[in-house]
Amino acid sequence: TPTVGVLALQGDVREHAAALESVGARALPVRRTSELEAVDGLVLPGGESTTIDKLLHIFGLAEPLRAMIKEGLPVYGSCAGMILLADRITSGTADQRTLGGMDVVVRRNAFGRQVDSFETDLEMTGVPGGPVRTAFIRAPWIEEAGADVEVLARIPATDTSGREVAAAGKIVAARQGPLLATAFHPEITGDARVHGLFARIIEDSRRS
């Protein structure tokens, strides 16, 4: 059974822990470096990326985590977590730092005021069994992805009622090796298949 940490500085830690447990992982809230050393993988939950970034530095987790990502720690970042995994941010605060690791440019609060938050069904590569029910909450999207990044999901051209969607085609889920990122929250809709995919990524990286 893999032990999967959930960064517990801010955000919906309990929902991620429940989703991980439901796919057979052991979930461990992580607030200090000693806890970080005990995990086979880590979830970076949503929240406010600038706040999480500040707390990562205050708790002394930023540098160890950055190093562990470079060494191949599997990490799944959701929403603000996706922003933290991005090598570059556009439209962030000028000095906003990230942990990095994924060769992507992320746009914060990308969906704009009109569609601030919404739920939708998305087909996602690596998640068989039909579309995933997802929640977007002041979500980012991936504006550019490097050659080593596999795009797993995009905003569809039309919504469930057939209307055209302004953000059609935007990348909202991606993978680069052991790093997984989604712009949306799958942990609050009761669909744990994205966490299942992350558990398989951890298994694969433990075997290699």
Are the CB atoms for 59 and 27 separated by under 8 Å?
no
138 is in an annotated binding site: yes
Nearer to ligand GLN, 33 or 109 (CB): 109
65: left (phi over 0), alpha (psi -120 to 50) or beta: alpha
The closest alpha carbon to 13, from 177, 188, 204, 148, belongs to: 188
Q: Is 79 a catalytic residue?
A: yes
Residue 154 β-bridge partners? 171
| Alpha helices in the chain, H assignment, sequence order | 13-22, 33-36, 49-58, 62-70, 80-85, 193-207
Residue 71 falls in the annotated catalytic set: no
Under rule CB under 6 A, residue 109 binds ligand GLN: yes
Q: Which of residues 43-62 bind ligand GLN (CB under 6 A)?
A: 46-49
Contact indicator for 164, 158 with CB cutoff of 8 Å: yes
CB-closest chain residue to ligand GLN: 46
Which amino acid is residue 168, in one-letter code?
A
48 annotated to bind ligand: yes
Q: Is 107 annotated as a binding residue?
A: no
Contact between 138 and ligand GLN per CB under 6 A: yes
Minimum separation from the CB atom of position 203 to ligand GLN (A): 27
Q: Which of 108, 175, 193, 195 binds ligand GLN (CB under 6 A)?
A: 108
Detail the residues annotated as belonging to a binding site for L-glutamine.
Answer: 47-49, 108, 137-138
Footprint of ligand GLN (CB under 6 A):
46-49, 79-80, 83, 108-109, 137-138
Catalytic machinery residues? 79, 185, 187
